[in-house]
Amino acid sequence: MIFAIIQWGLVASIVLVALYHLQQRLTNRILRKIPGPTPSSAITGSFQDLYHTQAWSFHQAHLDQYGAVAKVQGLLGEQMLYISDPLALYHMMVKEEPIYDEFAFFYPLNYLLWGEGLLSVHGMTHRKQRKMLNPVFNAKHLREMCPIFHDVAQELRAVIKDKVQRGEAEIDMLDWMTRTALELIGRAGLGYSFKIMQEGTVDEYGSAVKSLFPHVFEFAVVLPILPYLMKIGSPRFRRFMVEITPNKKIRRIKEMIDIMWKTSLNIYQTKVAALSKGDEALAKEVGQGKDIITLLLRANMMASEEERLPLSQVLGQMTYTMDTTSSALSRMLYLLALNPDVQAKLRQEVREARAKGELDYDVLDKLPYLDAVCRETLRLHPPVTTLERRTTKDTVLPLSTPVRGIDGIMIDQIPLAKDTRIIASVLSFNRDKTVWGEDAYEWKPERWLRLTPPGATDSKSPGVYSNMMTFSGGIRGCIGFKFSLLETKEVLMTLIESFRFEPVEKKSITWDLGIITTPRVEHTENNGPTLPLKVSIAEKLAE
């Protein structure tokens, strides 16, 4: 009897899988007609070409050869769409966002790492959290956070000044940009200092936040089965299983998450106590009552019963890592080191502005060349190069520019079956020659000084920032992009005003593609992420 049940179960499973594939084949028949690269493996398709750390030329060739739409083969012949067409991206990120959801393990992974914050929820819960958090990131609050940014940037300046006091020095600027970005989000985001702005120092929370991602991505191959693992037993049972696992690295990840959770709870309790004592007590806190979490707590207290976020969701907002900002800042310093003329021009702009008075929020936000350097770097070198989505139901994706199918017929919309994977290419969108011109692949801050910057006024842009996809767009677009731009400007301005950056001879830098792009020295034994630059005091150091 049992044997018969198993037999019928197996037959039913095979039929269901076959029907699923048939339905995918039928609905995705137009997708199959879209040109794309020949897969390099029958089993893994184009996966290795796509996700290799040096896949830059693959992505570039994609754009040059196929334009904004291509078909890519995934594992076991899965047909995926690789896209940077503006209308399609607008559809995916803005207009029909619920149909184009994050990839399957995105929510469970973020939930395990950070709890119930913006990154791990969707649907109504996500909308409710965004509604509560959006005002926290408005211009008024950012203006008030500026002194915090300023303090951290000055601490960084003091550290670097100390290192180059007796002459030029080789400094790993990636390390310092990582520390700075973490301390900035610590103080301005959480109202907490990671005590990371001195050589060798870092508290256990800072160390956990810093090393969590690299540890997790050692398990990248098993992440796709995470949604299934999360269905086994209760949370307590799964926790127990992790505690008794013989794998030390998994236990270490759990320890890091526990440290982050415990510290978040402490920060929360301190803040609630300070809030109840009033403004004087808040002013003595690290974030002086201006940090994101204090603002969120205030807003939450004043919210109506139905809009209020439960404690677990407030705590879930307390642990964003900031490798994106440190990647962007490192890339800016690297490009300025390679382009001494741009560096000198930027230094001159900052010094002239300084000579006229305090470099406060309004001045900083409007320095044209500083702004141009930031925009151009974020355009050409987005820290996150691709975003993955999967369809939650059968749908049709429109294109702004039709593509010619392999049968010669023009395609202006693509029917997609439920569960089709789509790779939205931030890199290709930001480098589109039809928008940015023939010199789209070149780093030219000057393009932003033209009267009408390219593409900047396009109201149907899928991105939240400057007709780029760097911060994505729509309801899942980066909530912290203005925060990020301001802190980036403050740090860059402070460094360039005081120091000169040059490349180190015989240490050529290459940038690895990953979840976030990172620099390392080519052809060395220690091949970890690093950005050594030659740093010296720029003539006439402002005191």
Which C-beta is closer to ligand HEM: that of 37 or that of 514?
514
Gap between the Cα atoms of 162 and 151, Å rounded: 17
CB nearest ligand HEM: which residue? 480
Query: Using the rule CB under 6 A, is 385 a contact of ligand HEM?
Result: no
384 contributes a contact to ligand HEM by CB under 6 A: yes
Task: Give dist(CA 197, CA 226) in Å, integer.
Answer: 36
C-alpha span between 467 and 86 (Å, rounded): 10
Per-residue exposure over 262-289, b if at least 16 CB sit within 10 Å of its own CB, e if not: ebbeebbeebeebbeeeeeebeebbbbb
Q: Give the residue, chosen from 480, 514, 529, 532, that forms a contact with ligand HEM under the rule CB under 6 A.
A: 480
Is 471 a binder of ligand HEM (CB under 6 A)? yes
* 142 scored as a contact of ligand HEM (CB under 6 A): no
Largest Cα–Cα distance of the chain, in whole Å?
89
CA pseudo-torsion sign 295, 301, 306, 310? positive
Are the beta carbons of 537 and 164 closer than 8 angstroms? yes
Binding to ligand HEM (CB under 6 A) within 311-340 occurs at: 320, 322, 324-325, 328
Q: What is the DSSP string of 451-517?
A: SS-TTTT-TT-SSSBTTBSTT--GGGS-TTHHHHHHHHHHHHHHHHHHEEEEEPTT--EEEE-SSS-
C-alpha Rg value of the chain to the nearest Å: 25
Residue in 88, 197, 478, 538 binding ligand HEM, rule: CB under 6 A: 478
Among 24, 110, 470, 498, binds ligand HEM (CB under 6 A): 470
Query: According to the binding rule CB under 6 A, does residue 80 interact with ligand HEM?
Result: no
Distance CA 359, CA 187 (A): 20
Distances in Å between the Cα of 28 and the Cα atoms of 20, 33, 249, 422 are: 12, 9, 40, 12
Question: Cβ of residue 109: shortest distance to ligand HEM, in angstroms?
Answer: 12
- Number of residues located near ligand HEM, criterion CB under 6 A: 23
Pairwise CA distance, residues 415 & 418, whole Å: 10
What minimum distance in Å lies between the beta carbon of 515 and ligand HEM?
Answer: 10
**Residue 46 or 330 with smaller CB distance to ligand HEM:** 330
Is residue 374 near ligand HEM by the rule CB under 6 A?
A: no
Helix (H) or strand (E) holding 102: strand 100-102
What is the per-residue binding string for ligand HEM in 159-188, x denoting contact by CB under 6 A? --------------------------x---
Tell me if 473 contacts ligand HEM by CB under 6 A: no
Task: Confirm or deny that 478 is annotated as ligand binding.
Answer: yes
**Binding flag, residue 383, ligand HEM (CB under 6 A):** yes
Residue of 63, 333, 350, 479 that binds ligand HEM (CB under 6 A): 479
CA angle 283, 288, 294 (to 5 degrees): 110
**Residue 119 contacts ligand HEM per CB under 6 A:** yes
Distance of closest approach, residue 474 Cβ to ligand HEM, in angstroms: 8
DSSP, collapsed to helix, strand or coil, labels residue 536 as: strand
Site string for ligand HEM, 187-226 (x = CB under 6 A): --x-------------------------------------
Cβ atoms of 517 and 327 closer than 8 Å: yes
**Which stretch, 159-167, 337-345, 480-488, 528-536, contacts ligand HEM (CB under 6 A)?**
480-488
Q: Does 511 bind ligand HEM (CB under 6 A)?
A: no
Q: How far is CA 112 from the centre of its chain?
A: 18
Binding residues for heme: 478
Binding residues: 478
Contact positions vs ligand HEM (CB under 6 A): 102, 118-119, 130, 185, 189, 320, 322, 324-325, 328, 383-384, 387, 470-472, 476, 478-480, 483-484
